[in-house]
Structure 1
Amino acid sequence: MIAETVCSAASAAGLGIAVVTAYRKRFLAATRIAAYSLVPVGLVMTGVVGWLADTAFSPTAWAGFGVLGAAWLLFAGTRAVERRRGGTRAERRAARGDQAEAVAPRASAPSLGAGKRPATGSATAPRATGSGEDFSDIEAILKKHGI
């Protein structure tokens, strides 16, 4: 009974705020506030508030929440142990060889391969093979621009 009264009061206050917001010519915000303020009344009318109130004061419901918490702790604990043992199940299967390789064998290789170099302007630029500093490409670019 008290929960229904509180929800009704909250809805009435929200609708009042929506009216003031609409008076200030902010109709979109007023509509959104009105929608949010109607939610508590809707929950009261569907019986959800009564069910929640009965659940909150029920020792059986709290014992059920305790069992759910224990189950969650067991799941989390097994996951932590699994991570300490060397990764997930899929990673361990891949290490054993039961599964195909998860990553492509040449995933880090360049995708272009050994193709031809783009032309720099002069088709037959001489290349020095012995020196560590080969400026023929730079010279060809400079000559192309007339520098």
Structure 2
Amino acid sequence: MLAETICSAVAAAGLGIAAITAYRKRFLTAARIAAYSLVPLGLVMTGAVEWLARTAFSPVAWAGFGILGAAWVLFMSTRTVERRRGGTRKERKAAAKSAAGPEAVAPAASAPSLGRAAPPRAANTTANAGEDFSDIEAILKKHGI
């Protein structure tokens, strides 16, 4: 009952402020203030304020929120553990079978290249890194840096 009275008073005060603002020829601002002030009145009329007041002061409702929070924590912790282990038990078994079997490797190695040749791999990556830096040094010298 108290919450409904407060919301109604806030709505009435807001409409009064909107009327004063409209009197000062600021109609857009007055319309916006009127819209904001009608929200609490609409909540009172729909019964949402009464429901919220009943819920906020109900120990059973707070216990329900606590149980929902505990369920969420359990769900998230199991997902975290599942990700660290590498998936569910079925996914781990399937991955172990595919890794152990030579059939999984053979088709990938003998897959057609669709007319494209694979780029050659460098035997020594440190030599390529040195060449890359020499190109950068040449560009920097060209610009006087």
Question: TM-score with structure 2 length normalisation?
Answer: 0.54
Measure, in 2, the Cα distance between the counterparts of 1:83 and 1:20.
60
Gaps of 5+ in 2: 99-145
Measure, in 2, the Cα distance between the counterparts of 1:38 and 1:13.
10
Measure, in 2, the Cα distance between the counterparts of 1:17 and 1:84.
58
Task: Compute the displacement of 1:20 (Å).
Answer: 2.4
Measure, in 2, the Cα distance between the counterparts of 1:73 and 1:18.
46
Q: Tell me the C-alpha RMSD between the 2 structures.
A: 2.6
Could you say which structure has the greater relative contact order, defined with CA pairs below 8 angstroms and 6 or more residues apart?
2
Quick one: percent identity of the two aligned structures? 75
Question: TM-score with structure 1 length normalisation?
Answer: 0.53
Gaps of 5+ in 1: 98-147
> What SS does structure 2 have at the residue aligned with 1:25?
coil
Number of matched pairs: 94
Measure, in 1, the Cα distance between the counterparts of 2:60 and 2:43.
23
Measure, in 1, the Cα distance between the counterparts of 2:54 and 2:3.
11
Equivalent residue number for residue 52 of structure 1: 52
Measure, in 1, the Cα distance between the counterparts of 2:19 and 2:73.
47
Per-residue Cα deviation, 1:22-57 (whole angstroms, up to 9, x for no partner): 223222221121111111111111111111111122
Pairing 1:15–2:15 present: yes
The letter for the 2-side match of 1:65 is F
Structure with more helix by fraction: 2
Q: 1:64 to 1:26 in 2, by over 3 A?
A: same
Equivalent residue number for residue 66 of structure 1: 66
Measure, in 1, the Cα distance between the counterparts of 2:82 and 2:25.
58
